[in-house]
């Protein structure tokens, strides 16, 4: 672990660092590739919508000796629809029958109870009308829209509009990837999935906000110096918060992993599993996007600003002249070589800020 | 935000950790005390964890009547459904609106779930029944007890419950109750009451309407008389059960609320007109009296029936000239009939705008002011609910354990602060959830459990942001005490901004969404708020205090704040930099 701490120290001092901004085209390309794959998968394969979105019933029987295929036969006979039967960890069966309305599914439950020879009250049933999922989906979309608008406004005020835009793009990116993975793997989309997906909203932005916060601080007096371009400072921010980002992501993923493990391991399937699966995928995507997409995007947007552009020009000119004079220190493009100077320099700027 | 001089600041307000700690301690003790005092020491469990049936209904907007799906009608519907479900003998059924167009009905396990489902969504029964007798709805133990000369201790102790047990448990009331029953029964059977009966009957409900002219021989059985006498309308259970499952062609008993809180009980004849005979009804103001009235229009057949019955009733004296409007076994209104009416009728009385409109709604929609579609029915057996609760708790414990292991491994001694903070956070979350059950009807469901587990990560995130900030300060060569204070304003800002985003997401989800999503959003929002409280009032003060200890302050290798291990390059070591190269390579 302390290796990570050691890395943290060296990252903090700028002794090591990965050039996230410089290599951003690679990561943009990767993200575009993943996004296109996700969209294609979505268009071709679609999503495996659970019964909550189609209408139908999920019956959970108590522990039983009836075999899966036998139960499937019973269920299909009783309902006249296709049935999916799964054996759960505790020996009970989960029988899923699509395309039923709530009144029909009630009868199916009755017949199943007879076939399986268990009292009807012992069979848990989730009966869903066809329009319920639609209602949930509509509300989820509304929620997503409202949240995006509000968060863009908030981030634009708390930070600036470029960061808000970048955060939004990163967010959409995360959601697309998550949905794409669902489509590719064929995981079932349930209400739990929707919950998980909506939670990613807050979480994906959490990491991004941490990096942006550092970025805002680092670039506060950017026009008053001629040492670093915006992109270089942005890169420093990412590197400086890297350990923090890794830690927060790991810590966020651990409980979700616990949920996933228990949801899948003990209960076989259900809401715990659905929520944690989409959270797991979305959180991983969120951590990736906050580092590789959101901040480079901000840098790209920022570099278009006249003041920042002029600054870059000045810095490059200064470096060129320094190189001509044969001063190796300032000629270096990348940070590691300058690290020894950078550390104290930055902290001096900080103390000015504090006195002010 | 920006703290002034770093040297003086720690001596000022920042370093009063005691106050903040005392505050949160008091809050914790008060809340926990409140929890034990209220007796709700565990959070109320939702249907999916406790077992039971949860039914979601969605109001259907009829074409051209989209505005009918409004708050008033939804609330009326909730009231009617509640009455129906509780009429099945369910005492803890819970009916509430969710969003603008959904009604959730939660029925705990152990009740006739099937019957409940049938009752819930269907259109209610609305009947017009002639009134035979009206009596005070309250317990009739007191007056009868006085007549029989027995002490009146019991009724005064708990009127409603003692009323409820009449005829079953206590001997004295049984005797009088029978007398009363016989009195009424004879009043119903015989054209003129026997002297004993009339005297007994008239001494009792003197204050209310006494049957002066007994109705002509109805097929009223003795059982019905007894039922009428025993009926105590002050008891909600009895009230709801009174008129349930009675055929419209049979006489029945029912309760009705004359004025808010004032109940009367009725003996009613067979239904003469049915709800479907009403074509339309609406509330309006009578031009002459300026009072609120309800206008009714009947269908063709309905007006014939109505004409026949009002013709008969208008000849009678009070209360037999009254015509009870019975909805789901409860008398909604019992206006008296003065003249023969046919196609249109007007009900006047002590209406307020609200009550007139309610009655109009009930009449015109037959029952529920809206028609509903069953969206989902979730029946969870106790076994499955228990399994899910257990799985959720295990998942939470595993998640928490994993986070703690990671924190200990990475932050060493510092993790103590994080673990304590997580503990405080967990305690507060639990207590508040337990208290919110009785307070606002919060029920812990599976998604809410998930939300709480996910929140472990959010809470831990805040500490990480702060700890990493402190470590950054240490790396720049500061000693722990100033590092703790300097790191705080910046960490605080980051924590606030990111928690705000989390809270925004939770709030939007809570407001916009329905059903299970809402439970999840609620927990997430609650824990995010608590995270802020804990970080401000607990984590930060504890850090300030620990910074004064030798173990942390001197950067013990196991404190997690060892400057050497962190690779600090303090100014004072600058000269030695060459001899102490990037150290702490060892694990």
Q: List pLDDT tens digits, range A252-291.
A: 888 888 888 776 666 655 777 888 888 888 888 888 898 8
Instruction: Specify the DSSP class assigned to residue A57.
Output: E
**Integer Cα distance of B217 and B215 in angstroms:** 6
Cα–Cα separations (whole angstroms), residue B426 to A74, A225, B527:
46, 47, 9
- Closest in B399, B501, B586 to A202, CB measured: B501
Q: Cβ(B376)–Cβ(B288) under 8 Å?
A: no
Q: What is the pLDDT of residue B307?
A: 84
User: Which of B376, B384, B447 is closest, CB to CB, to A128?
Assistant: B376
Q: Which band of pLDDT confidence, cut at 50, 70 and 90, is reported for residue A30?
A: very high
Which range is least confidently modeled, A108-122, B325-339, B428-442, B480-494?
B325-339
Res A321: pLDDT: 86
Cα angle: A263, vertex A264, A270; to 5 degrees: 60
How many interface pairs between A and B have CB atoms less than 8 angstroms apart? 293
The model's pLDDT over A132-190, given as tens digits with 9 standing for 90+, comes to 878 888 888 888 889 889 989 999 998 889 999 999 999 999 999 998 988 888 888 88
Q: What is the DSSP letter of B173?
A: H
Average pLDDT value for residue range B42-50? 85
In a mutational test of the A interface, the residue from B509, B573, B578 whose CB has the highest number of chain A CBs within 10 Å is B509
Question: A21 CB contacts (<8 Å, ≥6 apart)?
Answer: A231, A232, A234, A235, A238, A295, A296, A299
> pLDDT-based confidence at B110, cuts 50/70/90?
low
Q: From B248, B230, B247, B249, select the one nearest B239 (Cα to Cα).
A: B230
- B399/A256 Cβ within 8 A: yes
What's the confidence (pLDDT) of residue B122? 58
B positions 351-380 inside 8 Å of A (CB): 373-380
Question: B513–A140: do the CB atoms touch at under 8 Å?
Answer: yes
Name the residue facing A272 among B374, B377, B446 (closest C-beta).
Answer: B446
Average pLDDT over residues B111-132: 68
Structure tokens at B13: 């307000």
Q: Which residue has the higher pLDDT, B158 or A177?
A: A177
Contact B351, B273 (CB under 8 A): no
Q: What percent of chain A has pLDDT over 70?
A: 85
- Asked if pLDDT for residue B18 goes beyond 90, the answer is no
Q: What is the pLDDT of residue A39?
A: 92
Q: CB-CB: which of A191, A255, A262 is closest to B516?
A: A191
Residues of A within 8 A of B449 (CB-CB) are 272
- pLDDT of B142: 39
Contact B391 A262 (CB under 8 A): yes
Of residues A202, A256, A272, nearest to B505 (C-beta): A202
Cβ-based contacts of A103 with chain B (< 8 Å): 374
End-to-end CA distance of chain A: 38
Tell me phi and psi for residue B460, to 5 degrees. Answer: -65, -35
CA dihedral A252, A258, A264, A270 (to 10 degrees): -70
* Coil vs helix vs strand at B460: helix
Whether omega before B319 lies within 30 degrees of 0, making that bond cis, reads yes
Average pLDDT along chain B: 72
**Which of A249-253, B121-125, B145-149, B576-580 has the highest average model confidence (pLDDT)?**
A249-253
Chain B residues in contact with A90 by the CB 8 A cut-off are 387
Q: What is the pLDDT of residue A137?
A: 82
Q: Does B84 touch chain A (CB under 8 A)?
A: no
Contacts B61 to A, Cβ<8 Å: none
| pLDDT confidence of residue B117 | 67
pTM (predicted TM-score): 0.68
Taking the CA of residue B464 and the nearest CA in chain A, the distance in Å comes to: 7
Report how far residue B327's alpha carbon sits from residue B330's, in angstroms, rounded to the nearest whole number: 5
Q: Considering only A287-301, B165-179, B310-324, B402-416, which range has the smallest mean pLDDT?
A: B165-179
Asked if B551 has any chain A CB less than 8 Å from its own CB, the reply is no
Phi, psi of B372 (to 5 degrees): -120, 150
B214: three-class secondary structure by DSSP? coil
Separation between Cα atoms, residue A45 and residue B12, nearest integer Å: 63
By C-alpha distance, which of B427, B502, B416 is closest to B29? B427
Q: What is the pLDDT of residue B538?
A: 92
What percentage of chain B exceeds 70 in pLDDT? Answer: 70
Mean pLDDT of the region A64-88? 82
Nearest CB to A199; choose among B396, B454, B490: B454
Between chains, do B461 and A248 touch, taking CB under 8 Å as contact?
Answer: yes
Range scoring the smallest mean pLDDT among B34-38, B417-421, B552-556, B577-581 = B577-581
Q: Which range, of A184-193, B195-204, B366-375, B440-449, averages the lowest pLDDT?
A: B195-204
End-to-end C-alpha distance for chain B, whole angstroms: 38
Q: What is the pLDDT of residue A68?
A: 84
Most confident stretch, A113-122, B9-18, B355-364? A113-122
For residue A279, which residues of chain B lie inside 8 Å, CB to CB?
454
Q: Closest-CA residue in chain A for B460? A: A251
Compute the residue count for chain A. Answer: 356
**Residue B79 neighbours by CB under 8 Å, 6+ apart:** none
Identify whether the C-beta of residue B456 lies closer than 8 Å to the C-beta of residue B527: no
Say whether pLDDT at A33 is over 90: yes
Q: How many Å apart are CA B256 and CA B258, to the nearest integer? A: 6
Q: Which residues pair with A85 in a beta bridge?
A: A95
- Chain-centroid distance of CA B176 in Å reads 40
Cβ distance B321 to B337 under 8 Å?
A: yes
Nearest-angstrom CA–CA distance, B137 and B134: 9
CA distance A74 to A83: 9
Cα B564 → chain centroid: 57
Q: Which of A255, A256, A270 to mutate to test the interface with B (most CBs of B within 10 A)?
A: A255
> Please, what is the average pLDDT of chain A?
79
Contact A272 B388 (CB under 8 A): yes
Q: Taking phi first (over 0 means left), then psi (-120 to 50 degrees means alpha), and beta for anything else, what does residue B167 get?
A: left
Span A189-210, pLDDT tens digits: 888 888 888 777 777 787 888 8
Q: Provide the 8-state DSSP code for B337.
A: P
pLDDT at B534 > cutoff 90:
yes
pLDDT tens for each residue of B516-525:
778 888 888 9
Q: Which residue of B lies nearest to A276 if distances are taken between CA atoms?
A: B450
pLDDT of B161 > 70? The answer is no
What residue in B sits closest to A103 (Cα-Cα)?
A: B374
A40 pLDDT band (50/70/90 cuts)? very high
Phi, psi of B108 (to 5 degrees): -65, 160
CB B522 within 8 A of CB B9: no
The token pair at B400 is: 């928490």
Please state the separation of Cα B169 from the chain's center in Å.
Answer: 33
**CB under 8 Å to B16, separation ≥6 — which residues?**
none
Contact assessment for residue A211 and residue A154, using Cβ atoms and an 8 Å cutoff: no
State residue B578's pLDDT score: 42
- Cβ contacts (< 8 Å) between B396 and chain A: which residues? 255, 258
In terms of Cα–Cα distance, which of A65, A87, A83, A86 is closest to A74? A83
The CA-based dihedral angle spanning residues A20, A24, A28, A31, taken in that order and rounded to the nearest 10 degrees: -20
Query: Pick the residue with more confidence: A320 or B170?
Result: A320
Cβ-Cβ contacts under 8 Å, A209 against chain B: 494, 497-498, 501
Burial A110-126 (b: 16+ CB within 10 A, else e): eebbebbebebbbbbbb
In angstroms, the separation between the Cα of residue A321 and the nearest Cα of chain B is 31
Contact predicate B371/B101, CB 8 Å:
no
| Subunit contact B396:A255, Cβ cutoff 8 A | yes
Among A34-48, A320-334, B291-305, the least confident range: A320-334
H/E stretch holding A213: helix A191-218
Give me the count of residues in chain B. 587
Per-position DSSP letters for B515-565, written without gaps between them: HHHHHHHHHHHHHHHHHHHHIIIIIHHHHHHHHTSHHHHTT-TTTT--HHH
């Amino acid at each position: 672990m302390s290796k990570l701490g050691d890395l943290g120290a060296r990252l903090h001092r700028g002794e090591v660092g990965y050039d996230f901004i410089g290599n951003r085209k690679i990561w943009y390309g990767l993200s575009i590739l993943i996004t296109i794959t996700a969209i294609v998968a979505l268009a071709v394969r679609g999503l495996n919508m659970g019964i909550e979105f189609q209408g139908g019933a999920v019956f959970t029987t108590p522990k039983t000796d009836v075999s899966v295929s036998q139960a499937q036969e019973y269920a299909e006979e009783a309902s006249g629809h296709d049935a999916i039967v799964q054996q759960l960890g505790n020996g009970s069966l989960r029988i899923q029958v699509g395309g039923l309305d709530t009144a029909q599914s009630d009868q199916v439950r009755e017949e199943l109870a007879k076939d399986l020879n268990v009292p009807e009250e012992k069979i848990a049933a989730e009966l869903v009308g066809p329009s319920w999922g639609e209602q949930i989906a509509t509300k989820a979309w509304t929620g997503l829209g409202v949240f995006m608008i509000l968060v863009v406004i908030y981030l634009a005020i708390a930070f600036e509009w470029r960061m808000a835009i970048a955060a939004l793009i990163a967010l959409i990116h995360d959601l697309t990837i998550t949905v794409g993975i669902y489509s590719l793997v064929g995981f079932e989309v349930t209400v739990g999935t929707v919950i998980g997906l909506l939670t990613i909203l807050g979480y994906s932005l959490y990491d991004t906000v941490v990096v942006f916060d550092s970025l805002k601080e680092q670039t506060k007096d950017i026009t008053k110096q001629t040492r670093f371009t915006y992109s270089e400072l942005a890169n420093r921010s990412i590197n400086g918060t890297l350990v923090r980002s890794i830690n927060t992501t790991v810590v966020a993923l651990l409980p979700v992993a616990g949920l996933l493990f228990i949801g899948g391991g003990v209960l076989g399937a259900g809401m715990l599993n659905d929520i944690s699966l989409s959270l797991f995928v979305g959180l991983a995507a969120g951590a990736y996007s906050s580092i590789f997409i959101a901040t480079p995007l901000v840098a790209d947007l920022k570099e278009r600003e006249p003041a920042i552009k002029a600054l870059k020009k000045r810095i490059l000119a200064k470096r060129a002249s320094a190189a001509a004079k044969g001063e190796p220190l300032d000629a270096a493009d990348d940070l590691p070589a300058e690290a020894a100077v950078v550390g104290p320099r930055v902290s001096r700027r900080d103390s000015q800020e504090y006195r002010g | 935000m920006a703290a002034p001089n770093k040297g003086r600041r720690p001596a000022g307000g920042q370093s009063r950790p005691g106050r903040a700690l005392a505050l949160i301690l008091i809050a914790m003790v008060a809340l926990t005390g409140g929890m034990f005092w209220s007796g709700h020491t565990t959070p109320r469990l939702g249907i999916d964890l406790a077992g039971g049936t949860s039914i979601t209904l969605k109001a259907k907007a009829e074409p051209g009547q989209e505005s009918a799906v409004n708050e008033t009608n939804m609330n009326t519907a909730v009231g009617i459904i509640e009455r129906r479900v509780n009429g099945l003998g369910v005492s803890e059924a819970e009916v509430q609106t969710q969003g603008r167009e959904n009604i959730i009905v939660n029925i705990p396990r152990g009740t006739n779930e099937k019957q409940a489902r049938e009752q819930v969504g269907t259109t209610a029964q609305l009947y017009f029944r002639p009134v035979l007798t009206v009596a005070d709805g309250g317990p009739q133990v007191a007056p009868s007890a006085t007549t029989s000369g027995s002490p009146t201790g019991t009724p005064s102790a708990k009127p409603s419950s003692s009323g409820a047990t009449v005829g079953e448990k206590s001997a004295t009331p049984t005797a009088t109750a029978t007398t009363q029953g016989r009195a009424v029964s004879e009043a119903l059977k015989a054209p003129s009451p026997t002297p004993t009966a009339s005297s007994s009957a008239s001494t009792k409900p003197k204050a209310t309407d006494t049957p002066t002219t007994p109705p002509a021989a109805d097929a009223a059985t003795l059982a019905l008389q007894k039922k009428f006498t025993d009926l105590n309308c002050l008891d909600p259970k009895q009230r709801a059960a009174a008129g349930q499952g009675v055929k419209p062609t049979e006489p029945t008993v029912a309760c009705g609320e004359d004025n808010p809180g004032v109940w009367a009980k009725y003996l009613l004849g067979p239904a003469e007109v049915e709800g479907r005979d009403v074509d339309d009804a609406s509330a309006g103001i009578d031009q002459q009296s300026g009072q609120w009235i309800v206008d009714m229009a009947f269908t063709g057949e309905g007006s014939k029936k109505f004409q026949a019955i009002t013709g008969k009733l208008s000849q009678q004296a009070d209360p037999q000239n009254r015509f009870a409007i019975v909805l789901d076994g409860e008398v909604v209104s019992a206006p008296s009939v003065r003249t023969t009416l046919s196609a249109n009728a007007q009900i006047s009385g002590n209406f307020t705008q609200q009550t007139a409109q309610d009655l109009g709604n009930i009449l015109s929609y037959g029952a529920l002011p809206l028609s509903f579609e069953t969206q989902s029915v979730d029946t969870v057996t106790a076994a499955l609910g228990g399994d899910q609760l257990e799985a959720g708790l295990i998942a939470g414990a595993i998640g928490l354990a994993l986070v703690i292991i990671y924190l200990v491994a990475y932050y060493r001694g510092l993790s103590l602060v994080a673990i304590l903070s997580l503990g405080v956070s967990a305690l507060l979350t639990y207590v508040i959830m337990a208290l919110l059950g009785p307070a606002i009807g919060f029920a812990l469901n599976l998604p809410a459990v998930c939300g709480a587990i996910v929140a472990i990560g959010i809470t831990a995130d805040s500490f990480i942001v702060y700890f990493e900030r402190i470590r950054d300060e240490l790396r720049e060569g500061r000693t722990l005490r100033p590092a703790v204070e300097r790191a705080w304003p910046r960490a605080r800002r980051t924590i606030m901004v990111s928690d705000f985003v989390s809270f925004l997401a939770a709030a939007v989800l809570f407001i916009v969404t329905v059903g299970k999503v809402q439970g999840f959003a609620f927990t997430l929002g609650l824990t995010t708020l608590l995270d802020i409280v804990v970080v401000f009032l607990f984590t930060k003060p504890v850090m300030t205090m620990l910074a004064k200890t030798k173990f942390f302050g001197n950067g013990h290798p196991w404190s997690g704040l060892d400057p050497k291990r962190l690779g600090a390059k303090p100014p004072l070591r600058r000269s030695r930099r060459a001899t102490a190269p990037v150290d702490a390579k060892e694990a």
